[in-house]
């Protein structure tokens, strides 16, 4: 994306800053920096003034690399944390800000990082800090065409990863080896990175966050695979559940029920609908099928530079310091199907990445829904 | 590890709690929970009382899974964040704690997570929170024999990953594809997981934190690979730099210099030596070789359940809310060689995982040091 894109985003950011009465932002969350400058890395920061000046601080080794692809007005390199603190003070001084309100990412900064960026040697005494998460979420929630293209590419890569993982499934291999197939294929297909791969099997499919272990697949196991490849900085989100061999009638029933619920929510997806309505659509079908007690967690969340980002579902939103989301706008991108049916001995989940269209859903991830491969 | 191991660790923890005047700890960092209970997962917590009672809270779907391998006295499942908050309040009530000092992990909790765990519906008003990071670091810094065995296994897996990555290197493939080889091999060799793989090439080897991109390797490029496989919950840390073809005399000189510095620091490693002394050993050799300006970052850090943990180097320690580490004790495990030589056009780095022995170093990662493969 060109400098004009970042200039436009920063301008929109400054409009929001004025409305919310922020004099300056100090961002350290890579995804937020990536959105506004085209570069997001750890151990770095970006300051944004109400006038739209962008000042970045990066490890001194990284200056040339950042210069080549990032949008900014000022850059400084630092050698260590003390240098970082002093460089922040330098920018406050340069911008003439000794009073006013500083925006910080309360949903990203640890308590100890807060201590660093608000250190008396970094932040002027007269400047008070406040959470700017809602501004960054509002900025990023509606995707531009170029962003949707990245998410489309990421979805193709997710499909390739899912195909490799599912085709590799057989009794005797470990959950970790299933993850290996997905990840290898995603990198071969063009992912520069991926968020953590989830693979669970057998009784472990009944837990909410099944990271891979060295448990070996057995005949009759369900296997749940959830992947998030990153392509050009953007991440899709896709989950499938398959059986090693033949599923039981109960598993088949739950899978079909879950898929029906997920597809119903996808079908209702369009500009103007509320997150809660989509959530209720899924939940009600699952409840009618008798699995209401086995739902866990909110079924829908946004995806973009972070694989889990705004719009966040109401409960999670609170947890992440965000407000309840308004009705969905066109070109918001969401992952639908994250709640799952989790019984005592096994679970099923199916999830896809979907663009909220004016007239209806545009489904980006598309690996076939096959509980059994035969 | 058996229940006795966790009982002993919790007992040691309570001794430290009394010394530091903590009435109760509320842990949410997976590595700390893993150390004390044998289970560490996101969206969960563990509370530890001065009397050594361990109460955990997990997603309600995960109760059976946690029950099977974790050590605790009380377990409760919750359905969402509100349920989590109420379950914390329930435990405070159950333990009869309405006043006193609560230990929280300030180096892990985001500002918004702090708001959740100290929410008026979770934490009694009379209880005040304070950082308990130093307690957890002190507990974990010296490794037990069983932990060193895990790190030894992880190091063998790292060597297998490094071998696959280096053997796969050729002009035309992407950095991401190099990472794919390492990760695939690590999962095949027994890693249940890994921390983010770093692969940089060509001019990108000159930056401090080179995550993989889709840049394609060219003849003459240096390639830097840094991997951290997790085996039985423990992570080693290993880095190698190799050339696609033939290195220039300058690159060869810098590589040999860096390796000499790293090996000198390893040779000095033994119980009683200070982190600063090891750091200076490396820095001085690099400075004498004329590359003093190209060092970035502290060369040594601990490794264990987290691939970067206590002992942290002085500068970083401050950043991570920790104190300057005392002289190294026997059976501390450290990664040596993280500073690198970063020039404008390229960089070199070599890093290994080493046990601090009573009499000298025990090097765990051992892939050969070969700048060129021929």
For the sheet with A238-243, list strands across it.
A198-201, A222-227, A238-243
To the nearest whole Å, the CA of B263 is away from the closest chain A CA by 24
Task: Among A192, A318, A320, select the one facing B214 at the smallest CB separation.
Answer: A192
Name the residue of chain B whose CA is nearest to A42's CA.
B209
Average pLDDT over residues A206-210: 91
Q: Whole-angstrom distance between the N-terminal and C-terminal Cα of chain A? A: 44
- The CA distance from A109 to B284, in Å, is 35
Residue B338 touches chain A, beta carbons under 8 Å = no
Residue B104 touches chain A, beta carbons under 8 Å = yes
CB < 8 Å from B in window 46-85 of A: 59-62, 64-65, 79-82
Query: Which of B147, B162, B192 lies closest to B333, judged by CA?
Result: B147
Q: What is the pLDDT of residue B323?
A: 63
Contacting residues of A for B133, CB less than 8 Å apart: 112
Q: Is A2 exposed, middle or buried (0-12, 13-18, 19+ CB in 10 A)?
A: exposed
Residues with Cβ < 8 Å from B336, sequence gap 6 or more?
B262, B265, B266, B269, B278, B282, B299, B300, B351, B352, B354
Residue A291 touches chain B, beta carbons under 8 Å = no
Residue A128 pairs in a beta bridge with A101
Residue A72 has pLDDT above 60, yes or no: yes
Residue A317 has pLDDT above 60, yes or no: no
Q: Whole-angstrom distance between the N-terminal and C-terminal Cα of chain B? A: 44
CB contact under 8 A, B183 and A188: no
CB < 8 Å from B in window 187-206 of A: 187-188, 190-193, 196, 203-204, 206
Contacting residues of A for B315, CB less than 8 Å apart: 80-82
Residue A10 touches chain B, beta carbons under 8 Å = no
Query: Which of A348, A318, A352, A325 lies closest to A336, judged by CA?
Result: A352
CB B298 within 8 A of CB B280: no
Residue B39 touches chain A, beta carbons under 8 Å = no
CB count within 10 Å of CB A325 equals: 22
Contacting residues of B for A104, CB less than 8 Å apart: 111
Residue A320 has pLDDT above 80, yes or no: no
Average pLDDT over residues A362-369: 97
pLDDT-derived band at A208 (thresholds 50, 70, 90) equals confident
- The CA distance from A187 to B165, in Å, is 13
CB contact under 8 A, A112 and B106: yes
Average pLDDT over residues A74-103: 96
Selected from 3.90.230.10, 1.10.10.2520, 3.40.50.970, 3.30.450.370, the CATH number assigned to the domain covering A142-363 reads 3.90.230.10
Name the residue with tokens 């000298």.
Answer: B360
H-helix or E-strand containing A348? strand A347-348
Name the residue with tokens 């009638």.
Answer: A249
| Helices B3-20 and B30-37: angle between axes, nearest 10 degrees | 120
- The CA distance from A353 to A147, in Å, is 13
- The CA distance from A296 to A292, in Å, is 9
CB contact under 8 A, B176 and A183: no
**Which DSSP symbol is given to B292?**
G
Same fold for the pair B3-140 and B142-363: no
Interface test with A, best of B112, B121, B199 (most A CBs within 10 A): B112
- The CA distance from A247 to A225, in Å, is 16
Q: What is the pLDDT of residue A296?
A: 92
CB B286 within 8 A of CB B264: no
pLDDT-derived band at A374 (thresholds 50, 70, 90) equals low
Q: What is the mean pLDDT of chain A?
A: 95
A231-264 residues labelled b (16+ CB within 10 A) or e (exposed): bbbbbbbbbbbbbbeebeeebebbbebbbebbbe
Interface test with B, best of A130, A131, A165, A208 (most B CBs within 10 A): A208
| CA atoms within 13 Å, Cβ hemisphere of A332 | 28
CB contact under 8 A, A209 and B60: no
Residue A202 has pLDDT above 70, yes or no: yes
Number of A–B residue contacts, CB under 8 Å: 169
pLDDT tens for each residue of A110-165: 999 999 999 999 999 999 999 999 999 999 999 999 999 999 999 999 999 999 99
| Dihedrals phi, psi of A308, to nearest 5 degrees | -135, 105
pLDDT tens for each residue of B273-316: 999 999 999 999 999 999 999 999 889 999 999 999 999 876 66
pLDDT tens for each residue of A244-289: 999 999 999 999 999 999 999 999 999 999 999 999 999 999 999 9
Q: What's the whole-model pTM score? A: 0.96
CB contact under 8 A, B296 and A42: no
Helix ranges (H only) for B21-131 are 30-37, 63-69, 81-94, 111-117
Query: Which of B209, B232, B227, B354 lies closest to B305, judged by CA?
Result: B232
Counting residues of chain A whose pLDDT is more than 90, the rounded percentage is 92
Kindly give the parts of chain B with pLDDT less than 70: 314-324, 374
Q: What is the pLDDT of residue A323?
A: 63
Residue A226 has pLDDT above 90, yes or no: yes
Residue B133 touches chain A, beta carbons under 8 Å = yes
Write out the E strands in chain B.
Answer: 24-27, 45-49, 54-59, 74-78, 99-104, 126-131, 193-194, 198-201, 222-227, 229-231, 234-235, 238-243, 300-302, 333-336, 341-342, 347-348, 352-356, 361-363
Q: Can you say whether the dihedral through the CA atoms of B242, B244, B245, B251 is positive or negative?
A: negative
Residue A223 pairs in a beta bridge with A201, A242
| CA atoms within 13 Å, Cβ hemisphere of A12 | 16
Counting residues of chain B whose pLDDT is more than 90, the rounded percentage is 92
Contacting residues of A for B80, CB less than 8 Å apart: 297-298, 315
Question: Does the A3-140 domain belong in CATH 3.40.350.10?
Answer: yes
Interface test with A, best of B68, B111, B323, B338 (most A CBs within 10 A): B111
| CA atoms within 13 Å, Cβ hemisphere of A218 | 5
Q: Where are the domains of chain A?
A: 3-140, 142-363
pLDDT-derived band at A171 (thresholds 50, 70, 90) equals very high
Residues with Cβ < 8 Å from B115, sequence gap 6 or more?
A106, A321
- The CA distance from B178 to B212, in Å, is 8
pLDDT-derived band at A319 (thresholds 50, 70, 90) equals low
CB contact under 8 A, B319 and A116: yes
Q: What is the pLDDT of residue A313?
A: 78
To the nearest whole Å, the CA of B160 is away from the closest chain A CA by 14
């Amino acid at each position: 994306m060109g400098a004009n894109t970042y200039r436009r985003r920063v301008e929109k950011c400054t409009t929001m800053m004025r409305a919310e009465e922020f004099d300056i932002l100090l961002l350290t969350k890579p995804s937020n920096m990536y959105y506004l400058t085209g570069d997001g890395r750890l151990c770095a920061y970006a300051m944004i003034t109400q006038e739209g000046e962008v000042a970045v601080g990066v490890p001194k080794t990284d200056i040339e690399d950042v210069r080549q692809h990032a949008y900014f007005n000022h850059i400084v390199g630092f050698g260590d944390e003390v240098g970082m603190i002093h460089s922040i003070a330098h920018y406050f001084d340069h911008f003439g800000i000794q009073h006013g309100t500083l925006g910080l990412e309360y949903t990203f900064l640890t308590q100890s990082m807060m201590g660093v960026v608000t250190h008396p040697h970094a932040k002027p005494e007269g400047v008070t800090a406040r959470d700017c998460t809602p501004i960054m979420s509002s900025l990023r929630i509606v995707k531009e065409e170029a962003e949707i293209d990245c998410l489309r590419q990421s979805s193709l890569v997710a499909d390739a990863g899912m195909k490799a993982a599912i085709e590799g499934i057989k009794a005797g291999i470990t959950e970790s080896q299933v993850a290996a197939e997905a990840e290898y294929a995603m990198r071969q297909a063009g992912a520069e990175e991926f968020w953590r791969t989830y693979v669970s099997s057998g009784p472990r499919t009944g837990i909410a966050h099944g990271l891979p272990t060295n448990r070996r697949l057995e005949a009759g196991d369900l296997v749940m695979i959830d992947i998030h490849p990153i392509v050009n900085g953007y991440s899709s989100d896709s989950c499938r559940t398959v059986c090693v061999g033949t599923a039981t009638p109960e598993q088949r029933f739950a899978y079909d029920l879950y898929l029906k619920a997920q597809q119903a929510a996808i079908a209702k997806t369009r500009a103007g609908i509320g997150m809660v309505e989509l959530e209720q659509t899924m939940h009600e079908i699952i409840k009618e099928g008798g699995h209401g007690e086995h739902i866990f967690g909110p079924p829908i969340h946004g995806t973009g530079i972070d694989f889990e980002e705004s719009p966040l579902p109401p409960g999670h939103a609170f947890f992440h310091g965000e407000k309840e989301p308004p009705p969905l706008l066109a070109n918001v991108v969401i992952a639908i199907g994250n709640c799952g049916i989790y019984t005592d001995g096994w679970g099923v989940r199916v999830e896809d990445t979907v663009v909220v269209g004016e007239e209806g859903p545009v489904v980006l991830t598309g690996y076939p829904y096959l509980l059994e491969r035969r």
